[in-house]
Amino acid sequence: MIRKEDASTAHQEDRISRNEPTVPASRLVRQIDRYLRLLNITREAILCVDDACRIVAFNQGAEKLLGYSRQEILGTPLLDLLCSRFRCEAKNRLAALTRIAREEHLTFQTDRIIARHKNGERIPCEVSLSQSPMLGHSLFTLVVRDSSKRLEREQRLAYRVEHDDLTDLPNRVLLNDRLHAGLARAGRDGKRLAVVYLDLDNFKPINDRFGHQAGDCLLQAVARRLIDTVRQSDTVSRLGGDEFIVCIEQINTPQDALAAAAKLCDAFKQPFQILGTEIDTRASIGIAVYPDHGRDAPTLLRKADEAMYAAKAAAAGPQLYQPPTDAGDSCD
C-alpha cells in the first residue's frame, strides 16, 4: 500500500506500474532515487532491474551510452535494450548472470552482450551484474561498458597475425589453415588441389639497382596481379622475401594445375610500373598436386618448392613435381 505521506513519489510509481502490474513500494522508490544519485557520480553506464527484469534505475552514463533518457526508459523491460538479432543469446547470458548472482551471492559476474542504441545501432558491450538487496526486494545492478574499441583492437591484432604486413596477403599461418581446409574439401569431393610455388627470378638485382622502396612496391604490385589472375576461391599468400604460394582448389587433373600456373606465368609478361620506372620481372613456378604428390600440407609445400627450383635451374616454364630418378634403375 502507498501511504498518503508518500504522494510525492506517486507519479513515478504510476509510470512504472503502467508497465509492470507489481507497483514497487514508495520507500523502495526513494531508496532507488538515492542510489541513482550515487550512480551518477560515475561515468560508467549503470542501471538496475527488478525481479521482473524491468528497469528501475538508469544513470547518466547509461543515458549517454544507449541514447535513452531516464524518463522514457524507467519501467520498460531490460530486453528492449538488447539487439533483436542477438536477443535470445543475450537473454540467456543475462539469465545465467542473474542466477549466479542470486544463488551464489557473487559480486559482479561479467559476460558479453550486444545492446541496442535508441537510434538502432548495435553496441558490443561487457556487462557486469550483481545482486543489490534493498528493503527486502531483490534488485540487480548492471554495469555496462562499450567494448567496440577493444574488439576492434583484437580484430586488428588477429588480422595482423594472419596477414603479411607488406602485401596484406595471407601469411604462412593463414595459408596453413587454408591448405588444411582445402585438402579436407578435396578429399571429401574427390577433387585435386594444387600448391603453386612462385619465386621471382631477379628480385635481388632489382632491389640493388632501384632500392628497397622500389622492391617493396614491386612485391605489392606482384601480389595484386596474382590476385587478379586467380579465382576468388583460390588463395594467394606470401611466405616472405620474394616467395609466393598460390593454392588452386577444385581441379580435376594435374594438367588443370599446369594451365592455372601458365596463367600466373603470363601475368608477368606485362612490365610493372614502379615509382615511375618500368620494371620487368619473371617468376620460377613449381607445382605439387594433391593427392598425386602428397596428402598433407607440409609434403605438398616441400615438393612444390623442389619443383620451383627445378624450373629455375632449367629456366623453363611452370614445372610439375617429378620424383627423383633412382640411380640404381639406370642402364649402363
Q: Which residues contact 56 (CB under 8 A, 6 or more apart)?
A: 16, 24, 32, 48, 49, 50, 74, 75, 139
Looking up cell 591484432, which residue turns up? 157
Q: Per-residue b/e over 219-257, b at no fewer than 16 CB within 10 Å?
A: bbbbbeebbebbeeebbbbbbeebbbbbbbbebeebebb
- Quote the pLDDT of residue 11: 43
- Quote the pLDDT of residue 20: 43
Measured between alpha carbons, how far is 69 from 66 in angstroms, rounded to an integer? 9
SS3 121: coil
**pLDDT, block means (10 residues), the chain with 332 residues:** 41 43 52 65 82 85 92 88 79 76 63 86 88 71 88 90 95 96 95 97 91 94 96 94 96 96 94 93 96 96 96 91 68 36
- Quote the pLDDT of residue 136: 64
Integer Rg of the chain from CA:
32
SS3 159: helix
Please state the pTM of the whole predicted model.
0.68
Q: Which residues contact 288 (CB under 8 A, 6 or more apart)?
A: 194, 195, 197, 294, 299, 300, 301, 302, 303, 304, 307, 320, 321
- Quote the pLDDT of residue 114: 87
Cis preceding linkage at 318, omega within 30: no
**Which residues does the annotation mark as catalytic?**
242
- Quote the pLDDT of residue 22: 43
Measured between alpha carbons, how far is 90 from 104 in angstroms, rounded to an integer? 21
Q: Which domains does the chain have, with CATH numbers?
A: 4-151 (3.30.450.20), 163-322 (3.30.70.270)
| DSSP letter assigned to residue 75 | T
Cβ atoms of residues 244 and 236 within 8 Å: yes
- Quote the pLDDT of residue 35: 65
Amino acid found at 192: R
Measured between alpha carbons, how far is 137 from 28 in angstroms, rounded to an integer? 8
Torsion of CA 317, 319, 324, 325, to 10 degrees: -60
- Quote the pLDDT of residue 196: 98
β-strand partners of 248: 194
| DSSP letter assigned to residue 289 | E
Measured between alpha carbons, how far is 150 from 124 in angstroms, rounded to an integer? 10
